[in-house]
Chain A
């Protein structure tokens, strides 16, 4: 029986040398397009739209009045006395007062023209101090 075996020059392997190149190309594409989600911030809970108004004893209120320049004035209850503080002091002031009165509610009253970051600074201080009863208000007639 005559054997006619042709010697083939074509390789019988799948060329895999370019596989890494393809993978790297895809890798670079995903590296460039990846945007890691940036979902973080200071969480608050707004009151329900038809929530009942509750009368609160003024002695349980602590006002943080934020002025346009970023000055923070602290006013306690009905007292007219004003204590100016810096944003760094908010946390300490709240901790001291809260230790004396556990029903204390923080009222952050911001001037309409005050920058957002000043309000964030105060809110940050209060949340760092673990305050959970915070009311965000705007100064009327400002």
Chain B
């Protein structure tokens, strides 16, 4: 009767198992990363097409000090998910601005096709509310796409 392996069975010191003891550590590390970076959204993102600009800069301000005003193609205005008319913007923004110690930055998040008339009215409302720092929210545009336009 033939003996398997010619009778030489070598004792292997290497384990044949995939080491999985560090798996949980890796998962927890990733978990902590996402927990720290997660910011639960403050207001609902409206369905708009962003305008693009090459000179787009990051707003260097705390999230609490940024107020988003949404403007859709249908002419709707949203602040903190609340639909508003143009005349309501000033009375709503003014107290928020006062509470923020004049640090508030208003981010106008408008669809690219909105007629400028509305943007101008919005600026007038913000001026009346005393807001001076305004950002036209845009997407970063690459030079390549710009050349094609």
Contacts and interface: CB of A to CB of B under 8 A. Distances in A.
Question: Dominant SS at the B interface?
Answer: mixed
A120 B54 CA distance: 10
Interface in A1-48: 16, 19-20, 23-24, 26-27, 30-31, 33-48
A27 B116 contact: no
B79 interface: no
Nearest to A126: B55
A113 B126 contact: no
B133 A138 contact: no
Nearest to A37: B39
B115 A115 contact: yes
Interface of A: 16, 19-20, 23-24, 26-27, 30-31, 33-49, 66, 87-88, 110-121, 123-124, 127-128, 136, 138
A37 B127 CA distance: 26
Contacts of B41: 35
A124 B141 contact: yes
Contact of A115 (B114, B120, B146): B114
A116 B114 contact: yes
Nearest to A38: B137
Given A36-B37, A39-B59, A40-B139, 14 more contacts: A27-B31, A27-B34, A30-B34, A34-B38, A39-B61, A41-B59, A48-B132, A88-B146, A112-B117, A116-B115, A116-B119, A120-B52, A120-B112, A136-B120
Contacts of B53: 41-42, 120-121, 123-124, 127
Contact of A19 (B24, B117, B141): B24
Interface residues of B, number: 58
Interface in B109-124: 110-117, 119-120, 123
A138 B123 CA distance: 11
Contacts of A37: 39, 63
B127 A114 contact: no
Contacts of B57: 40-43
A88 to B, nearest CB: 7
Contacts of B37: 34, 36
Contacts of A115: 112-116
26 contacts: A20-B20, A23-B28, A27-B34, A40-B138, A40-B139, A41-B59, A42-B55, A42-B56, A42-B135, A43-B59, A43-B134, A45-B132, A46-B123, A46-B132, A48-B130, A49-B130, A88-B149, A110-B120, A111-B116, A113-B117, A114-B116, A115-B112, A115-B116, A117-B112, A123-B55, A138-B116
A48 B134 CA distance: 12
